[in-house]
Amino acid sequence: MKPVRNLFFGIVFIISAAVLQGAEPDPATLAIWKATLDFENVSNTRSQLLVEFYAVATNYPTSQYAPLAWQTVATLTQMVAEDAAHAKTAVTNLDSLSLTDRVQELIFQLRDQNGHQFAPPGSWGVFPDRQNSNSPAQQLMAIGYPAVPQLINALDNPTLTRSVVFEGGSWRYERNLAFPHAVLTVGDCAVAILQRIAGKSFYQAPSSSGYMSNEHKNSETRQAVESWWSDFQKKGEKQMLIEGTEAGNGNSPEQARLLVSRYPDAALAPLLQGTQAANDDYVRVWLMQMLEKYQSPETLTFLEKELRRGTSEPSVTAAAILNHWGKPEALTVMLQDWEASLNVQLEDLHIRSIMVFLASMDSPEAIAALGRGLQIRPANVNARMTIIKVVGETGSDFDGLPRAKLSVATLEAMEALLVSALPDVDQKMGETGSIMGKNYTNPRIGDMAGFFLNQRWPERYPFDLSAPLKERDRQRLVCENTWRQLHNLPVLVPPQPSTNHVAAAEVTKVVAIEWEAGSAKPSDAFAARIEAMRGKLLSATNFTRVLGYYVTQPEPGTEGLTLSARKDNDSSGVVLKICLLPASAANYNPKFSITDNVTIADKVAYGISGGAKPGKEDESFYGENGVIWNDFIKAINTAINSSPETPFVISAKIEKTIYL
């Protein structure tokens, strides 16, 4: 993000938070925040920054930020003096310096290191530099081990850099109206460089936005680095990397990467030992992927055993490697695991990995197995959408290993599976994204199937994922009939335009109620409540009361509810669709996840997700009185009050969350 944009959004954040709380923006907060963000703009000289922080300190002497402002003034005053002295003796050609002097100069230049936050509150980094692809940090990392002693000495260096990070979650400005940004020190840069050189972590951040100086862990970090460096000097790089790989801990993947690249002949035994020692599946998978380079009897025995673990990510990784080695048992075991999973309604990461593995195989049998998953899980939208995506993407995101060219038989199986999903209009509520330049919100399974058919066979299957809803309905039918004609099957007759037109004043009348396939059977009371909406004008009140009733009195044997109201542009009234999601687990959290969306004329007018607990205390949120998020009500009313020819879709999903 560019400095100017960071400053703009930073001020927008703090003002928005203040408005939400009914508070006046604090001038001292705005001033210290702007001054801090100005560090990352290298066009601001340190003398200018000094003036800016001095103004904060003197203009707001009683502010909570005054001590920080004065501390920064002191640091910048010293830095300005050091800059002036350094300019008199600075050497432009670093190659002319001795190695020790070159490292010292580069550490001095870290004050201009312009690293950045990858995404608030995501992890921060000093690599790469915004302004310089060959930054001081990059050069020090390239020097490597000879730079370590001087970098250790720099760990306590409080000199400020040009790297500004987001040091806390949104709670800081939402609750305290405190600015959440901070400036990294040269010491912070030094530990980041040391970690890159060593291939291991010396400072364990408590969160993705933590860093050494703001956690006051300089001394602790120095001890860890000095301990590693002492061992390194005794054992040497090769042995240190071997031991680091064998440990099977969070540092092992990077230690193994360095070992494989620098000492490939010594890597197999440590990789096998580290993989077996790893208790974390993430570490195990990374180490196992490196075993793919070592096809040996020992590796084969280990991977065949790992393949049959059956309940973890590493078993799928083992299958991928064995398949690349031409071992047919890999596909056989994964097919067995997939068939066994079809009775499990809750998808976990392991099951999704099996889906991706099967989709990546040049095997009609594997694609057919995935197709059975579509049929067996009629109420699980997430599972069906995932199957469509992994088949459509042909498993290309799985483990980064190369794919064989797909046979005609496999392509035909993929085509048949995607065509079979075209009539499926269930939606993945709360999902918004873009794929191949096509934007979507609350995607329908049939639409995503049409998109992937178009991507692989564009001449055969014309489909536009971004087209208006009614056009997508027409295109799905065209695609399905194309396939049927190719297979000598009777074509489907397009639905005839409705002849039951309603008066302009009644275009929002509920003319039809459709229960989705796979819906749980409703109780008589709930069914009567839904049926009572037939023939009545749709309103925000009667729509939201269905949601409120479900939250306060959930239907037995269900884990959620989807409800939508659709009006087309043909004066045919409103069609209400509903699905009670059958329960898939016994261990539920008392809270619901709730997603609401309103689309008017195929443009999203409103969309949000939240949560609520069941019970009368939540009637002010989702209750019998129909009180719901005000913005949702406004969006519903906007849709209902739009012109008679304006189409809209109002949709909501309520779903219990599951204890894991």
For residues 196-215, average pLDDT:
78
Who wins on pLDDT, 577 or 207?
577
What is the CB neighbour count within 10 angstroms for residue 249? 18
For residues 84-106, average pLDDT:
93
Residue 624's pLDDT is what? 40
Whether the predicted pLDDT of 179 surpasses 70: no
Domains of the chain by residue range: 3-216, 231-425, 426-495, 504-658
Please say whether the beta carbons of 569 and 646 come within 8 A: yes
Specify the pairing of strand 574-582 against strand 510-515.
parallel
Lowest-confidence pick of 119-128, 314-323, 333-342, 537-546: 119-128
Whether the predicted pLDDT of 235 surpasses 70: yes
Q: How confident is the model at residue 2 (pLDDT cuts 50, 70, 90)?
A: very low
Most trustworthy range by pLDDT among 82-86, 465-469, 600-604: 82-86
pTM, two decimals, is: 0.75
Q: How confident is the model at residue 611 (pLDDT cuts 50, 70, 90)?
A: low
Whether the predicted pLDDT of 3 surpasses 80: no
Say how far apart CA 605 and CA 626 lie, in whole Å. Answer: 20
Lowest-confidence pick of 28-37, 128-137, 262-271, 384-393: 128-137
Who wins on pLDDT, 18 or 319?
319
Who wins on pLDDT, 175 or 77?
77
For residues 189-194, average pLDDT:
94
Whether the predicted pLDDT of 120 surpasses 70: no
Give the strand order in the sheet containing 181-185: 124-125, 116-117, 160-166, 181-185
Residue 4's pLDDT is what? 42
Residue 218's pLDDT is what? 85
Please say whether the beta carbons of 268 and 237 come within 8 A: no
Tell me the CATH number of domain 231-425, given options 3.40.190, 1.10.8, 1.25.10, 3.30.930. 1.25.10
DSSP string, 75-106: HHHHHHHHHHHHHHH--S-GGGS-HHHHHHHH
Who wins on pLDDT, 550 or 657?
550
Whether the predicted pLDDT of 22 surpasses 60: no
For residues 517-537, average pLDDT:
93
User: pLDDT of 121-176, one tens digit each?
Assistant: 445 567 777 667 789 999 999 999 999 999 999 999 999 999 988 755 433 333 34
When computed from its CA atoms, the radius of gyration of the chain, rounded to whole angstroms, is: 30
Please say whether the beta carbons of 277 and 287 come within 8 A: no
Lowest-confidence pick of 231-240, 288-297, 385-394: 385-394
Residue 658's pLDDT is what? 55
Q: How confident is the model at residue 383 (pLDDT cuts 50, 70, 90)?
A: confident
Residue 165's pLDDT is what? 82
Whether the predicted pLDDT of 10 surpasses 50: no
Residue 245's pLDDT is what? 98
Residue 140's pLDDT is what? 96
Q: How confident is the model at residue 532 (pLDDT cuts 50, 70, 90)?
A: very high
Residue 499's pLDDT is what? 66
Residue 124's pLDDT is what? 58
Please say whether the beta carbons of 277 and 269 come within 8 A: no
Cα separations in angstroms, 523 against 526, 553, 556, 559, 654? 5, 11, 8, 14, 17
For residues 520-541, average pLDDT:
94
Residue 477's pLDDT is what? 96
Whether the predicted pLDDT of 413 surpasses 90: yes
Say how far apart CA 173 and CA 16 lie, in whole Å. Answer: 9
In percent, how much of the chain has pLDDT > 90? 57
Say how far apart CA 46 and CA 52 lie, in whole Å. Answer: 10
Residue 6's pLDDT is what? 47
Whether the predicted pLDDT of 312 surpasses 80: no
Residue 279's pLDDT is what? 93
Say how far apart CA 502 and CA 484 lie, in whole Å. Answer: 35
612: nearest Cα among 636, 629, 599, 597 = 629
Q: How confident is the model at residue 516 (pLDDT cuts 50, 70, 90)?
A: confident
Lowest-confidence pick of 14-28, 463-477, 591-605: 14-28
Rounded to the nearest integer, the mean pLDDT of the chain is: 84
